[in-house]
Amino acid sequence: MTTTQPSRRTTEQDQSGAAVGVTVAAAIFMIMIGVFHAIQGVVALVNDKFYVVGAKYTFEFDVTAWGWVHVVLGVIAAFAGFALFQGATWARAVAVLMAAVSIIANFMWIPYYPLWSMTIIAFDAFVIWAVTAHPRALADAPR
């Protein structure tokens, strides 16, 4: 009875499959983050009394201006998420940049919607990790 050891090629393919899966998850998260930002922005534009600031916070901005910031961030983030599916290298760079900007924007948005802001920050951190941990995973994946 002989036992066969998995070849190095099989292991690399398994890792590649995991890398592709994580990158696809990052793309999906980027699209979700973009849609969430856009919805949050539209709500701020339509009804600027919806978001109420509780305690005094270091960063206080006009809710309507924040609405436009969130709409623009949302559109760019969703676009980057769709481009990640194509395996574009520039999309990875834009995704990391947009996730970082989203983290900063949501940090400043905490007094208006704290739990949601923290949730989006966690999604953004995952996107940054997923896109940078597996470079070119979708670009090199067999089609």
Given this model, what pLDDT does residue 37 score? 87
User: 82 vs 7, which has greater pLDDT?
Assistant: 82
Given this model, what pLDDT does residue 10 score? 46
Given this model, what pLDDT does residue 79 score? 92
Query: Cα 74 to the chain's mean position, in Å?
Result: 10
The whole-number average pLDDT for the span 95-117 is 87
The whole-number average pLDDT for the span 83-97 is 87
Given this model, what pLDDT does residue 18 score? 75
Q: What is the DSSP string of 74-126?
A: HHHHHHHHHHHHTT-HHHHHHHHHHHHHHHHHHHHHTTTSHHHHHHHHHHHHH
Given this model, what pLDDT does residue 54 score? 64
pLDDT digits (tens, 9 = 90+) for 126-143: 999 988 886 655 555 555
Residue 111's pLDDT band (cuts 50, 70, 90) = confident
The whole-number average pLDDT for the span 22-29 is 87
